[in-house]
């Protein structure tokens, strides 16, 4: 088989806790020995020894609770973060669609942002201009396209963001919870477009809390819990185990609560 589109090999990511320098340079210098010790010792582990591989044309899901490290994983794939240990290899142009309004500048209009973020994603300016009308049509936000995006609603931002990547022939698409804010009509439009991508062989990494979407979209899924991969495998299998664990946990909590109230 050909090389994988995305490969993570024993990847760990630690953040230093930067609180010691938030006091600024003055504070840092006046408390130098203490500050240096703090920089060395306070590390926070976000991901520990993560390995997975996404094959070309595959849709790979990442599920898990808030704060388990899903977005950090996407950040590593996008190349915005560098791993502390291990290595991340990607083959193909990556279109990140992380959170709302990522890759946009809030003082620019929708139209200007399309050019800016298209070029940042590695396209020629001329190519973006050619596709401009198509992108604007897909957003379906009317005259707002010439307003600065700071006046956009979160739904409009999501529309702009998705239309951007949807129209620009992505090779690897990273999707982080983007669908949660659009209205039903637009969510449907996005799902249709992603299904079309899937058919045409675009590699996708899909982070979502909506298990029905994960089941519909993904071929394989990794479940990240407590900064590690709990399990990975076919979408159906992993989602079932995840939901089961979730049910068990909730049952345990309600049991505890009822015993406490007695």
Partner 1 sequence: MRDLTYYRDLIFVLTQKEIKVRYKNTVLGYFWSITNPLAFAFVFYIAFKIILRIQMEDYALFLIAGLFPWQWFANSINASPVVLLGNASLIKKVNFPRNIIPFAMVLQDMIHFVLSIPVIVLFMLIYHKTPSLSWIYGIPLLLFIQFLMTYGLCLIVSSANLFFRDIARFTDIFMTLLFYFTPIIYPETMIPKEYSWVYFAPASALMISWRNLFLNGSLDLNALAISFGYSLLSLVAGYMVFRRLSRKFAEVL
Task: Identify the residue among 102, 144, 210, 225 touching partner 1 (CB under 8 A).
Answer: 102
Q: Does 119 bind partner 1 (CB under 8 A)?
A: yes
Q: In this structure, how many other beta carbons lie within 10 angstroms of the beta carbon of residue 236? A: 12
Helices first, then strands: H and E counts in the chain: 9, 9
For the chain, strand residue ranges (E) read: 6-16, 43-54, 59-63, 85-90, 94-98, 172-176, 203-207, 220-225, 228-234
Q: Does 115 bind partner 1 (CB under 8 A)?
A: yes
Q: Exposed, middle or buried, 245 (CB in 10 Å: 0-12/13-18/19+)?
A: middle
Segment near partner 1 (CB under 8 A), from 56-64, 121-129, 185-193, 238-246?
Answer: 121-129
Q: What is the DSSP string of 109-177?
A: BHHHHHHHHHHHTT--HHHHHHHHHHHHHHH--GGGGGSBGGG--HHHHHHHHHHHHHHS--SEEEEES
Q: Does 250 bind partner 1 (CB under 8 A)?
A: no
Q: Does 262 bind partner 1 (CB under 8 A)?
A: no
**In 3D, which of 236, 204, 194 has the Cα closest to residue 56?**
204
Task: Identify the residue among 4, 9, 12, 28 touching partner 1 (CB under 8 A).
Answer: 28
Smallest separation, CB 29 to partner 1 (Å): 9
Segment near partner 1 (CB under 8 A), from 56-64, 122-130, 200-208, 221-229?
Answer: 122-130
Q: Does 112 bind partner 1 (CB under 8 A)?
A: yes
Segment near partner 1 (CB under 8 A), from 101-109, 193-201, 216-224, 250-258?
Answer: 101-109
- Show the site string, 50-79: x = touches partner 1 by CB under 8 A, - = not: -------------------------x--xx
Helix (H, G, I), strand (E, B) or coil at 82: coil
Residues of this chain that bind partner 1 (CB under 8 A) = 15-16, 18, 21-22, 24-26, 28, 75, 78-82, 93-94, 96, 98-99, 101-108, 112, 115-117, 119-122, 124-125
């Amino acid at each position: 088989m050909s090389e994988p589109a995305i490969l993570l090999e024993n990847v760990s990511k630690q953040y230093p806790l930067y609180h010691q320098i938030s006091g600024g340079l003055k504070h840092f210098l006046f408390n130098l020995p203490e500050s240096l010790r703090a920089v060395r010792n306070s590390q926070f582990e976000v991901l520990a020894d993560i390995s997975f591989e996404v094959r070309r044309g595959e849709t790979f899901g990442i599920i898990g609770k808030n704060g388990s490290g899903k977005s950090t994983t996407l950040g590593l794939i996008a190349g915005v973060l560098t791993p502390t240990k291990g290595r991340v290899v990607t083959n193909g142009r990556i279109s990140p669609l992380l959170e709302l309004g990522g890759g946009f500048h809030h003082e620019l209009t929708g139209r200007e942002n399309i050019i800016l973020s298209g070029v940042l994603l590695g396209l020629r300016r001329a190519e973006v201009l050619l596709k401009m009308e198509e992108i604007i049509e897909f957003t379906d936000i009317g005259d707002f396209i010439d307003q600065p995006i700071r006046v956009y609603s979160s739904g409009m931002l999501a529309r702009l963001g998705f239309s951007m990547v949807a129209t620009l022939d992505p090779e690897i698409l990273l999707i982080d919870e983007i669908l949660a804010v659009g209205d039903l009509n637009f969510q449907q439009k996005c799902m249709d477009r992603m299904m079309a991508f899937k058919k045409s062989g675009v590699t996708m990494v899909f982070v979502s809390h909506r298990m029905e979407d994960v089941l519909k979209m993904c071929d394989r899924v990794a479940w990240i819990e407590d900064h590690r991969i709990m399990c990975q495998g076919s979408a159906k299998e992993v989602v079932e185990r995840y939901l089961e664990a979730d049910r068990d946990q909730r049952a345990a909590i309600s049991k505890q609560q009822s015993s406490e109230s007695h």
